[in-house]
Amino acid sequence: MTIGNKKGTVYIVDDDEAIRDSLQWLLEGRDFHVRCFDSAEAFLSHYDAREVACLITDIRMNGMSGLELQEKLVARGSALPIAIITGHGDVPMAVDTMKKGAIDFIQKPFDEEAITSLVARMLEQAQSNFSDQQQAATRDALLAKLTARESQVLERIVAGRLNKQIADDLNISIKTVEAHRANIMEKLGANTVADLLKVALGNNPAGAKAG
């Protein structure tokens, strides 16, 4: 479901059915797409890191705790935004969790407006993370087209070396450098040196595409 900035899935992981149901009812009532799991283990078996999503999980659960779930996701290199549900006695743990990367914590009893605002922010962050990942994947695919020699030439172009300096560095002729340079521009879909630098440095211009 896509409504404004609400694109993506809100995962709720809690072994308390009443909590799951209340959060699902609240968020679906605000047009969010919600999926619930009664354990961290069940969530991990279904979660696809390639989707735009955020996670709300309880800090205390049977089996794997919310903290352990967060650590598992961090270990996988996941950029999934996470909010941790806590009770009054869990604040020290919640602070520790935030230091490890959770975006926020939600204290019981719930403030509906605060949760809605938090989820919207987390999905915005998730969308941004997804876009960054897509851009990195596109860049990697483009750079993978280069030969080893072209990669050496590109590295020196990025470092600001002139054609003559590159030729001296690699013990090749200036004409060979120029030929490599032209091939690099074509393979990376770059029309100017500025475009080339954007791709090489990870800021893919709109016009640069594989092909």
Q: Do 8 and 51 touch, CB atoms closer than 8 A?
A: yes
Whole-angstrom distance, CA of residue 124 vs CA of residue 8: 9
Work out the pLDDT band at 75, boundaries 50, 70, 90: confident
Alpha-carbon Rg for the chain in angstroms? 24
CA–CA separation, 131 vs 123, rounded Å? 12
pLDDT confidence band for 23 (50 / 70 / 90):
very high
For residue 39 the two structure tokens come to 């354990």
Cα separation of 133 and 144, whole Å? 16
Query: Position of tokens 């998730």?
Result: 126
Question: What is the rounded average pLDDT of the residues 62-82?
Answer: 88
Looking at per-residue pLDDT, the higher value among 84 and 37 belongs to 37
Please check whether the domain covering 9-135 is classified as CATH 3.20.20.80.
no
Please give the pLDDT value at position 60: 86
User: What pLDDT does 129 receive?
Assistant: 86
Band of pLDDT at residue 74, cut at 50, 70 and 90: confident
Portions of the chain given CATH number 3.40.50.2300: 9-135
CATH of 145-200 among 3.30.479.10, 1.10.10.10, 3.20.20.70, 2.40.30.10: 1.10.10.10
- Point out the least confidently predicted range of 31-35, 92-96, 144-148: 92-96
Q: What is the mean pLDDT of residues 14-18?
A: 94
**pLDDT computed for residue 178 by the predictor:** 95
Measured distance CA(88)–CA(80) in Å, rounded: 25
- Residue 84's beta-bridge partner residues? 57, 105
Please tell me which residue, 209 or 74, carries the higher pLDDT value: 74
**pLDDT tens digits, one per residue of 140-162:** 999 999 999 999 999 999 999 99
Q: With 80 as the cut, is the pLDDT of residue 127 above it?
A: yes
Query: CB neighbours of 102 closer than 8 A, spacing ≥ 6?
Result: 70, 82, 83, 84
Instruction: Specify the higher pLDDT residue, 97 or 182.
Output: 182
- Say whether pLDDT at 96 is over 80: no
Contact assessment for residue 55 and residue 81, using Cβ atoms and an 8 Å cutoff: yes
pLDDT reading at 206 higher than 60: no
Query: Where do the CATH 1.10.10.10 domains begin and end in the chain?
Result: 145-200
Band of residue 134 on the pLDDT scale cut at 50, 70, 90: confident
Amino acid (1-letter code) at residue 207? G
